[in-house]
Structure 1
Amino acid sequence: MGTLYPPRTRGRLFSESIPTLNDAAAATNYGVPLLPVYNAPPTSHVVGLGQPTNDGIPSQEEVSSDLRRMRSGYSAMLWLIWCVLFGSLRLGATLSAILQNETEFELAAGHRQGRLFPFYTIGRIANVPCIASNGLQGTCLIRGECADNQGIFGGSCSTLTTQATCCIFSRTCGGSTNLNSTYFTNPGYPGSYNDGGTCTFTITPCSASVCQLRIDFRSLNLAQPNGEGNCLTDVLTITGGSSAVPQICGENTGQHVYVNFADLNPITIRVSTTAGSTVDRMWNLQLSQIACASQFRAPEGCLQYYLEPSGVISSFNYGFGANPNLNSLGATGTRQIAGQRYGICIRAAPDRCTITYSLVSVTNDSIRIPFIDCFVWQPTTDGSYAFTVSGDAEVLDPTLIGMGIFGENGDICTTDYVVIPSPVVTDVNAAGAVFTDRFCGLGLFAVTSQVKPFVVYVVWDDNEEPDVANRGFRLAYSQNACTLGA
């Protein structure tokens, strides 16, 4: 802001002489009440300087002194009014500028009315993300507005005023919201939920500039699918958007999905549960609205969108342990959820031209090791079950599962598989092999792709019965720097 000057009065600085305050026009300009007109007595009534006449009329000097005092008082009052008004405007503009700076997610601003503080109006606070004192993401609001919307105060989100709080919105079954960064939890969260029924929650875009909803599964633990991969005991469904979301059940904490809004129509989340289950089911879903113009908006066709140059991707319900449910043949069931078809996208980092996918080393709960005429259970730390997407995982020595030579490729992959566009495999054990973009079986070589956007497509068919003891996949990805000429 430039050099500050006091207000001017018709071309004069405020410190210069001002018109007499009993002048109607001048009083109107200064916004002060018009003083009653005082008519000085004729000279014949003045008997001496500073001495009143016998009829009680003050002297001319006293009149002049009174007028000077009144002018001085009104000058001070006008300075005070100017300072308060200027201070309010400056504070409001500064606070709004600070709070308009969005965080990495560039979440869309909502629509709210500003609130009045005593003596001044603070600038409209932007509906931007903030981190509350408990580590949860909230929305920066005036405290009164947070309370009006049944929010929870999560600590200050401004260094300029204590009236701004990081407001956390937490809702449960039967609720709805058009507020950004809302949490949808099971009744009694963080405790478990053992009742049966359907818990429904709806989300409406907070403005016409919103295009997507990101749902982060901060906690999602439901019953496992049956042995054929169907979500019969518990299931989470998401409807109302213009993009499809498959049914989800099992253990999915840490996963996320993106859903496109269909214009301003609401998106509905339903969690259906069966009473009597021994599963300690719970859920805490963070709902973040993404602006249409945001650079963090997921590309079309991407159910998931990862923003970091390296990390881990996994199929829904991937886990170290096998599904405790048996299939119809009495064999160990699969953790793969039937009927899954979606894309996992990864944002390309600057100066990165290719991406490599490889098995993640994981700690399985245990594996069965032959010992003379019996079996012993021994923990392992390897990537053996990090890629088990089709076939019978129990017919293979567990120490061999995951090796690339037990993977399959191409036309053999017709039921469950992942698609990695234009793959390049450099493993010496794959020398001479020609690879297409379909990978399945019980193992995977490290695979590199240069097709952008970086994407892995997941295809599980509707019958998972043959896929005994499969976990799905858990892959590490790493983007590679561009080489000369790339």
Structure 2
Amino acid sequence: MPAAATHSSRLLAIVAIFFSSYILGIYSAARASSQQVQQVQQLEAPLASQNDSLDLQAGTNSSLARSDSRHPRWFPFYTIGRFSNDICTGNNLLLGTCVISGECSDNSGVGAGSCSTITSQAICCIYQRTCGASTSYNNTYFYNSNYPAPYAGGGRCSIVVTPPDSSICQLRVDFLALSLAPPTGDGLCSTDALTITGGASQVPSICGENSGQHVYVDFNGVSPITISVATSAGYTFNRQWQLQIRMLGCSSATLAPSGCLQYYMPTSGTFASFNYVSAASSALNSIGVQGTRQLANTRYGICIRKAAGICSITYRQVGSDTYSFTLTNDVGAVDPALLATSSVQSQDCTTDYIVIPAPTQGGVSLASDRFCGLGLVSTTTSAKPFVVYTVTDGNEDMDISNRGFYLSYSQNACPIL
């Protein structure tokens, strides 16, 4: 064979080997890419099927609002896969929202630990705000300036809360800490006052000691709700507040029913009037005698969610506190041994009282659903929904040294037939 032909044959063989290797490389890369896509799809599938809501109280699915988006986000630049902007618990034990770290810092949030096994970029973002702030983020914390240090007083400190969209119907505000100047001896919040305005629900002015209390407020469409704390610099007092602001979706299982300023989920527990403390007030009322601790001019409902298999509910005074039902009349004029007994319970109530619908005591139906005076014996009702209404007027002259109410409740199972 001529030398030229031999050279050409070798050249063709080299080219063939090169192209074969090239084609094999493309095939291998394509196959590896396909396997990666399948792995990502397998990773995404269970995440995409998760319900996009969270029930904080019951631990079941609901439509509690997400802080920014109601749908899972995909950040391909940072990670492969999806994760939802779920509610998370930070390493500071505060509730936050699971977001990419850059988004948290961009929105003035504080990172409090990791919240996702999919990417290290996801952090539990805590939104903390103080005077003059606004928010559309779920689980925002509203503090006095320099919290937890006390605030001396002076001026008004406010936050404006706007729902992110029309799917949010209600606001729950938890008073994790709320210590303001006490009311006057006539029960008026004249020195300090927490007010919540702009919603479709009426919230009374609140002052005094209310840590552990909460309120629900209906949004008026997408209009903002303003939470304000007004304080007087002329009254020396170590004020302090830390409020947790949560938004509830319109289909949430934890929405408070209409007319309920407060809503309790457990089958048993306690509730109290605003500013309830067992100790008497040190302030004098308008006629110069020891005043009341209960707030004047209130009218609202306290509701308890009925559990499955429950037929009735029983209310009674907290046994360790003989002053736990002192609404009307003069506490000091009664033998302390008679407090919390039927002898000082009254149903002839027109000024300050609670309402328990269709009440029974000792299995006997009562003629009135109003209760006042200086004692409440164990009272049961089968009327549903479970609600206690509280009413106070603006005249506390003769309600001397009253504290308000501090009651326990327990739901009773239906009898087995």
- TM-score, normalising length from structure 1? 0.80
User: What residue in structure 2 maps to residue 369 of structure 1?
Assistant: none
Residues 198-241 of structure 1 deviation map (CA, whole Å, 9 limit, x = unaligned): 11111111222111000010110001000100001100000111
Aligned-residue Cα RMSD (Å) equals 2.2
Equivalent residues in 2 for 1:178-327, closer than 5 Å:
178-327=136-285
**Which segment is superposed worse, 139-148 or 177-186?**
139-148
**Which segment is superposed worse, 105-114 or 467-476?**
105-114
The one-letter code sitting in structure 2 at the alignment partner of 1:175 is A
Match of 1:460 among 389, 392, 400: 392
Query: Which structure's relative contact order is higher, taking Cα pairs within 8 Å and 6+ residues apart?
Result: 2
User: What residue in structure 1 maps to residue 26 of structure 2?
Assistant: 74
Deviation (angstroms), 1:433: 8.7
**How many angstroms apart in 2 are the aligned matches of 1:276 and 1:219?**
22
Deviation (angstroms), 1:434: 4.2
Q: 1:290 to 1:434 in 2, by over 3 A?
A: closer
The one-letter code sitting in structure 2 at the alignment partner of 1:305 is Y
1:389 aligns to 2:327 (yes or no) = yes
The one-letter code sitting in structure 1 at the alignment partner of 2:232 is T
Deviation (angstroms), 1:327: 1.2
Deviation (angstroms), 1:45: 8.0
Provide the secondary structure at the position in 2 that maps to 1:323.
coil
User: What residue in structure 2 maps to residue 438 of structure 1?
Assistant: 370
Provide the secondary structure at the position in 1 that maps to 2:120.
coil
1:116 aligns to 2:92 (yes or no) = no
User: What residue in structure 1 maps to residue 355 of structure 2?
Assistant: 419
**How many angstroms apart in 1 are the aligned matches of 2:247 and 2:201?**
15
Contact 1:108–1:128 under 8 Å retained in 2: no
1:64 aligns to 2:64 (yes or no) = no
**What are the ranges of 5 or more consecutive residues in structure 1 without an aligned counterpart?**
1-42, 362-381
Contact 1:191–1:282 under 8 Å retained in 2: yes
**How many angstroms apart in 1 are the aligned matches of 2:353 and 2:403?**
13
Residues 51-93 of structure 1 deviation map (CA, whole Å, 9 limit, x = unaligned): x45xxx9522211110111112212322343344444444444
Provide the secondary structure at the position in 1 that maps to 2:19.
helix
Contact 2:66–2:87 under 8 Å retained in 1: no
Q: 1:444 to 1:149 in 2, by over 3 A?
A: same
**How many angstroms apart in 2 are the aligned matches of 1:359 and 1:263?**
39
Equivalent residues in 2 for 1:28-67, closer than 5 Å:
47-48=5-6, 52=7, 59-67=11-19
User: What residue in structure 1 maps to residue 406 of structure 2?
Assistant: 474
**How many angstroms apart in 1 are the aligned matches of 2:44 and 2:282?**
59
1:448 aligns to 2:380 (yes or no) = yes
**How many angstroms apart in 2 are the aligned matches of 1:225 and 1:120?**
55
Provide the secondary structure at the position in 1 that maps to 2:201.
coil
Match of 1:152 among 104, 110, 114: 110
Match of 1:128 among 74, 86, 92: 86
Match of 2:303 among 333, 337, 345: 345
The one-letter code sitting in structure 2 at the alignment partner of 1:81 is S
Provide the secondary structure at the position in 2 that maps to 1:76.
helix
**What are the ranges of 5 or more consecutive residues in structure 2 without an aligned counterpart?**
none
User: What residue in structure 1 maps to residue 336 of structure 2?
Assistant: 398
Provide the secondary structure at the position in 2 that maps to 1:62.
helix
Aligned length: 410
**Which segment is superposed worse, 461-470 or 397-406?**
397-406
User: What residue in structure 1 maps to residue 100 of structure 2?
Assistant: 142
Contact 2:73–2:85 under 8 Å retained in 1: no
Contact 2:310–2:412 under 8 Å retained in 1: yes
Contact 2:55–2:254 under 8 Å retained in 1: no
**How many angstroms apart in 1 are the aligned matches of 2:4 and 2:37?**
45
Provide the secondary structure at the position in 2 that maps to 1:271.
strand
